């Protein structure tokens, strides 16, 4: 079975793929079609299923595997599939792990890094709050994605993103010693914890009703209120500062933050959050193109295209 990352123009294949997204459409002549995003453990690819029949639609379910017969085409400098046929997938014929994208950093490695970072927090109040919040969330912290599609949108993406930010924060604190390292590390580890309720899970991620109506910032802020109350720390300045870190980390009202950063640590948290998300988006996009080629337009990066130099490996 050929992996998506190894697909080449003019390939003609038949194999199982996971349906990540499925949208109905109609051509100018009134014919129905499907726009799909298909996935295996190596990546995702867009697909079109023209002149789709009702029985074909019944065989395609988001979050499920199906066997597709398709051609690989080049469209706007990106590979895309043209689906010809689809048939049901026989359960057990291929392990599900072959279709789940996961963090390149093993969970045991991420857990070790997390434990070390928590242990490095010297302020006892921040230490207690971070420990209690992560205990409340449990294993979801290590398995959930950080987003549904844009960045770190895979198994383990939430912890990978949060740990990457914490490591960036550590380096920045060495360069700018006026920063409160404990507050910044705590903020990096906790800022996106609400995503474990905002999204449905790590395999085919969709936004939950709670996620759509409240958003992960409000959810995490509510959990923090419950946590500090249970620890009898709700009147501490540390609790107030951590609330601000969570509430302001998107940096702009129009991006969902109810308050703007008003602590130097909150300003840094917003900057490293944006930087880490953008670098992950770029890595994913550039991994899909060959040296000397351009990425497609990246919505998360102002619809810009990025060039992969010929000397890149």
Residue 102 is predicted with a pLDDT of 84
Q: Are 280 and 161 in contact (CB under 8 A)?
A: yes
Per-residue CA distances from 281 to 161, 199, 295, 296 (Å)? 12, 19, 11, 12
Residue 72 is predicted with a pLDDT of 96
Residues 66, 146: one domain?
no
Residues 202, 276: one domain?
yes
Q: pLDDT by residue (tens digit) across 123-142? A: 999 999 999 999 999 999 99
The 3 state secondary structure assigned to the chain is CCCHHHCCCCCEEEEEEEEEEEEEEECCCCCEEEEEEEEECCEEEEEEECCCCHHHHHCCCCCCEEEEEEEEEEECCEEEEEEEEEEECCCCCCCHHHHCCECCCCHHHHHHHHHHHHHHCCCHHHHHHHHHHHHHHCCHHHHCCCCCCCCCCCECHHHHHHHHHHHHHHHHHHHCCCCCHHHHHHHHHHCCCCHHHHECCCCCCCECHHHHHHHHHHHHHHHHHHHHHHCCCCCCHHHHHHHHHHHHCCCCHHHCCCCCCCCHHHHHHHHHHHHHHHHHHHHHHHHCCCCCCECCCEHHHCCECCECCCCCC
- Which residues, other chains included, contact 95 with Cβ-Cβ below 8 Å and sequence gap of 6+? none
Range from 52-56, 92-96, 99-103 that averages highest in pLDDT? 52-56
d(CA 231, CA 25) in angstroms, rounded, equals 52
Q: Are 244 and 229 in contact (CB under 8 A)?
A: no
Residues 41, 89: one domain?
yes
Q: What is the CATH number of the domain that holds 51?
A: 2.40.50.140
pTM of the model: 0.82
- pLDDT of residue 312 exceeding 80, the answer is no
Residues 254, 113: one domain?
yes
Residue 132 lies in a domain: yes
Residue 257 lies in a domain: yes
Residue 276 lies in a domain: yes
Q: Residue 42's pLDDT band (boundaries 50, 70, 90)?
A: confident
Residues 242, 177: one domain?
yes
Residues 95, 114: one domain?
no
β-strands 43-49, 78-88 pairing: parallel
Residue 147 is predicted with a pLDDT of 82
Residue of 38 and 154 predicted with greater confidence: 38
Residue 67 lies in a domain: yes
* 192 phi, psi to nearest 5 deg: -110, 15
Number of domains in the chain: 2
Residues 32, 170: one domain?
no
Q: CA end-to-end span of the chain, whole Å?
A: 25
Residues 277, 148: one domain?
yes
Q: pLDDT by residue (tens digit) across 177-233? A: 999 999 999 999 999 999 999 998 776 678 899 999 999 999 999 999 999 999 999
Residues 38, 75: one domain?
yes
Q: Residue 73 belongs to what domain range? A: 4-99
Residues 229, 121: one domain?
yes
Residues 126, 268: one domain?
yes
Residues 130, 222: one domain?
yes
Q: Which residues pair with 48 in a beta bridge?
A: 35, 82
Q: What is the CATH number of the domain that holds 270?
A: 1.10.3210
- pLDDT of residue 91 exceeding 80, the answer is no
């Amino acid at each position: 079975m050929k992996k998506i990352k190894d697909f080449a123009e003019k390939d003609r294949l038949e194999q199982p793929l996971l349906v990540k997204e499925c949208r109905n459409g109609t051509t100018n002549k009134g014919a129905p079609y499907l726009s799909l995003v298909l996935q295996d453990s190596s990546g995702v690819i867009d697909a079109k299923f023209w002149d789709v029949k009702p029985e074909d639609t019944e065989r395609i379910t988001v979050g499920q595997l199906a066997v597709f017969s398709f051609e690989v085409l080049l469209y706007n400098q990106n590979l895309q599939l043209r689906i010809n046929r689809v048939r049901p997938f026989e359960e057990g014929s291929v392990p599900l792990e072959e279709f789940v994208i996961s963090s390149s950093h093993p969970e045991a490695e991420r857990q070790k890094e997390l434990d070390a970072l928590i242990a490095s927090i010297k302020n006892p109040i921040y230490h207690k709050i971070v420990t209690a919040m992560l205990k409340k969330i449990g294993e979801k912290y290590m398995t959930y994605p950080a987003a549904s599609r844009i960045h770190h949108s895979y198994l383990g993406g939430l912890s990978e993103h949060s740990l990457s930010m914490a490591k960036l924060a550590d380096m920045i604190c060495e360069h700018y010693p006026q920063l409160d390292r404990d507050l910044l590390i705590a903020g990096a580890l906790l800022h996106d914890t609400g995503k474990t309720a905002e999204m449905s899970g790590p395999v085919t991620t969709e936004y939950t009703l709670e996620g759509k109506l409240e958003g992960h910032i409000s959810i995490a802020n509510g959990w923090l209120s419950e946590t500090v109350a249970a620890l009898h720390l709700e009147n501490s300045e540390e609790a107030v500062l951590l609330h601000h870190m969570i509430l302001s980390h998107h940096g702009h009202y129009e991006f969902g933050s109810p308050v703007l950063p008003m602590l130097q640590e909150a300003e840094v948290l917003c900057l490293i959050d944006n930087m880490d998300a953008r670098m992950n988006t770029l890595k994913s996009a550039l991994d899909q193109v060959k040296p000397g080629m351009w990425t497609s337009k990246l919505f998360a990066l102002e619809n810009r295209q990025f060039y992969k130099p010929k000397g890149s490996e």
